[in-house]
Amino acid sequence: MDPVTSRAKSQSSRGKRAGKILFWCLIPFLFAGFVRFYSAIFTVLCGAWLALILGENYLGVIFAVSLGTSAICSIGTCYILWKQYKRHILNDS
């Protein structure tokens, strides 16, 4: 293999490594944003309906269920983001 091809491959692997590091440094902030987003949606939509059905005595339980559901959805969203980033940006299959 000639030196130019070898250098291009090493730069590519360094770029991929830097891309992975950048992604994993940003994912905690993205995760927190997704939790906040999903929590707002589930609290307003599902929480309001459950509060009407169950009453105000269960607001803590409704909030906990909403937060748990939003965390699960956020994990799923981050997993999908990783798969798409890996496939389209890093060009790994």
At 11-51, the pLDDT tens digits run 588 888 999 999 999 999 999 999 999 999 998 888 888 88
Above 80 in pLDDT, residue 6? no
Structure tokens at 24: 């994993």
Indicate the burial class of 28 (C-beta count within 10 angstroms; 0-12, 13-18, 19 or more).
exposed
Residues 50-82: pLDDT tens digits?
889 988 888 898 889 999 999 999 999 999 999
Residue with tokens 């992604």: 23
Task: Provide the pLDDT for residue 85.
Answer: 94
18 touches 11 (CB < 8 A): no
